[in-house]
Structure 1
């Protein structure tokens, strides 16, 4: 077996165990090496590097209303306030210690609501921008997600026959950072059998009835494709037959690696690679109903849900997400709660840019790398359109408290 192929198998085995805190989010991914083909040097590991910048370097900074991002930051501050002030925030203390944030969080609470000028002064006086890169690469992929609306019923009927399942009691999740600090942000999931952690049933096995008869059904919906995409988004709303709306959110994942079905369709020549998007994938599934279930089952990842009360949906940080201002990131590089200045292509117009202040508050199964993000667009038709089309190149700057010099600084 060629060495590069063996390395890929080992990496794939590890990634297959990693479960995200948010839903699975679609993203392109390279194919494995072809067995027997000429092998190249192993891929360079991703490394976050940060370069100090000025607010004048942030494209579009003066045209954004930073006050719209303050509610998101305040929610994150509530979480940070519960942390020991001496504890580092993020991997390798990239954003200092929790005590460094107490000062800026206290100041954030004093900024008048909806005062754009005051909000901008707050950020410019309390924070230092840092240009993020993967070594020297400052551009990465930015996608979008939203809160979909499904039709459902509390009881199974002929129409409502696709279940959204609660977390099974025997599903065990392990935070790998408790055993290896270098694996911060990574988790595995499975179930105990004979004193050993074994893989949990995959999507195909669950769809075939592996968990039937255990009373795990939270609600029944009328469209298997809608349910599949809800797994990808991680949260949504279900309008019940009596007119009430149930809000559901991610609770757990079965531990299997997320496989983007859009990539499978592109690899097989069934959708042009440059045309892969949520609308094009949905169109293919609708046009090939006999093959749709089999294709969806090729993604072994399966998400379990819980009912949400109050504000929502909730991100991986445990706070309610703010439409257009919450960003899903890779927490092994970017800490939750950090303000992020985003500059990326607008999914609705390649001649326009999405330039706005956001807060890192979530993650997803496909959100991996130092310069990678997923914009939460909210609820409704426009949010669905933006999320479904967003596959943008862009970059970002992390805003860290004044006086914090991260170890990743250049």
Structure 2
């Protein structure tokens, strides 16, 4: 995605899944990350899925690819600038990079989860996010890259455009125009104003066009069979708003049990409501043709399904190796989802306008319908750690 604009689940106001007990952190100033004692590390249970389970392949290569993407970012001038002002003592660009290089070696050479866990405990120290309660509780949500039907030219079917970033956007007066001012109540008035000529592609479904704004990227299936990828190119300066919570606030849907399928079903049954609720989402997102590339995070490298996370980059170390403990949704084989507790190594490679503070993480769930179904119901609590080589 990407430069994600926030999880779909959070935008809907989904009720939290089961809540693991938070770690008791030692109070220490106002820093977002705190080192934890080795005794606590032994309780983390580094049960990752690298080696798979009976009848299932592991995804060691996916983790290695994600590590390599972060190492690419850490060699960039953007990384140097980010770490020059990073506020947590002891977390430097050089240490983050060396930690990733060494961890990669351990993943390649370890033959079992137990062997990897022993090596990690021996060589690394853990920094834990203080969470939203300063006791380590973090809210996890999910985001994904959708696939929609679209056209490069408008017609009676394909009417709803997504737009390129205006060439003069930096000179736009603030506050920026709202979504209502830019595209109108019906979403069709952009060509009559300052967005004229900036159309990148047209979709047949107004809700799908809006969901690309929420997710920050998409793959578009064109009428001739080609696949076009579009990615985030900028946004107006208005704050995030939850459309789902707006529906619940107005009594249109109950907040309890609100999910992506529920909200989509509501708008399918009452399409006239799109003109009521979409304009309330004041931010407007601009896109670029990403040339068929994978979804890209705020670190300018591809994100990997279930291995890339988005956090507040004013607080968390970009590109760094992290470890999450939280319930994630999985298909239950009966057309629904069930939450299973996971303990997983991830890379911090993205950001989002709704992902603010030390208590928020967005997990990239992948591309397509299943990833969207999982992201749409995901909202759970857990813990977030960063791994750094011992000094």
TM-score, normalisation: structure 2: 0.80
Q: What is the deviation of 1:91?
A: 3.0
Q: What is the deviation of 1:224?
A: 0.7
User: Who is 1:142 aligned against?
Assistant: 140
1:56 maps to which of 26, 30, 42: 42
Q: What is the deviation of 1:395?
A: 1.6
Contact 1:152–1:219 (CA under 8 A) maintained in structure 2: yes
**SS at the partner of 1:320?**
coil
1:334-353 matches, within 5 Å, as 334-348=316-330, 352-353=340-341
Distance 1:354 1:112, change over 3 A: closer
User: Who is 1:276 aligned against?
Assistant: 258
CA RMSD in angstroms, aligned pairs only: 2.9
**SS at the partner of 1:396?**
strand
2:178 maps to which of 183, 196, 202: 202
Contact 1:347–1:386 (CA under 8 A) maintained in structure 2: yes
Give distance in 2, aligned partners of 1:309 and 1:350: 36
User: Who is 2:65 aligned against?
Assistant: 71
Give distance in 1, aligned partners of 2:267 and 2:80: 51
Contact 2:298–2:349 (CA under 8 A) maintained in structure 1: yes
**SS at the partner of 1:141?**
strand
Distance 1:76 1:63, change over 3 A: closer
Give distance in 2, aligned partners of 1:340 and 1:89: 20
Distance 1:119 1:249, change over 3 A: farther
Distance 1:283 1:330, change over 3 A: same
Give distance in 2, aligned partners of 1:303 and 1:85: 27
2:96 maps to which of 76, 98, 101: 101
- Check if 1:397 corresponds to 2:379: no
Q: What is the deviation of 1:266?
A: 1.5
Give distance in 1, aligned partners of 2:203 and 2:258: 26
Distance 1:86 1:276, change over 3 A: closer
User: Who is 2:230 aligned against?
Assistant: 248
* Count of aligned positions: 347
Q: What is the deviation of 1:280?
A: 1.6
**CA offsets per residue over residues 350-396 of structure 1, 9 Å max, x none?**
66213211111111121111021111011133211110110112221
Give distance in 1, aligned partners of 2:265 and 2:31: 37
**SS at the partner of 1:198?**
coil
Give distance in 2, aligned partners of 1:295 and 1:283: 15
User: Who is 1:309 aligned against?
Assistant: 291
Give distance in 1, aligned partners of 2:278 and 2:109: 44
Give distance in 2, aligned partners of 1:215 and 1:114: 54
**SS at the partner of 1:92?**
coil
Contact 1:149–1:236 (CA under 8 A) maintained in structure 2: yes
User: Who is 2:22 aligned against?
Assistant: none
Bigger mean CA deviation after superposition, 237-246 or 128-137: 128-137
User: Who is 1:177 aligned against?
Assistant: none
- The structure, 1 or 2, with the larger RCO (C-alpha pairs under 8 Å, 6+ apart) is 2
Give distance in 2, aligned partners of 1:89 and 1:345: 34
Q: What is the deviation of 1:112?
A: 7.0
Q: What is the deviation of 1:79?
A: 1.6
**SS at the partner of 1:357?**
strand
Give distance in 2, aligned partners of 1:401 and 1:161: 53
1:80 maps to which of 74, 81, 91: 74
Contact 1:253–1:304 (CA under 8 A) maintained in structure 2: yes
Task: Tell me which stretches of 4 or more aligned residues in structure 1 moved more than 6 Å.
Answer: 84-87
Q: What is the deviation of 1:119?
A: 6.0
User: Who is 2:169 aligned against?
Assistant: 171
Contact 1:340–1:360 (CA under 8 A) maintained in structure 2: yes
User: Who is 1:375 aligned against?
Assistant: 363
**SS at the partner of 1:131?**
strand
Distance 1:99 1:339, change over 3 A: closer
**SS at the partner of 1:71?**
helix
User: Who is 2:125 aligned against?
Assistant: 128
Distance 1:161 1:212, change over 3 A: farther
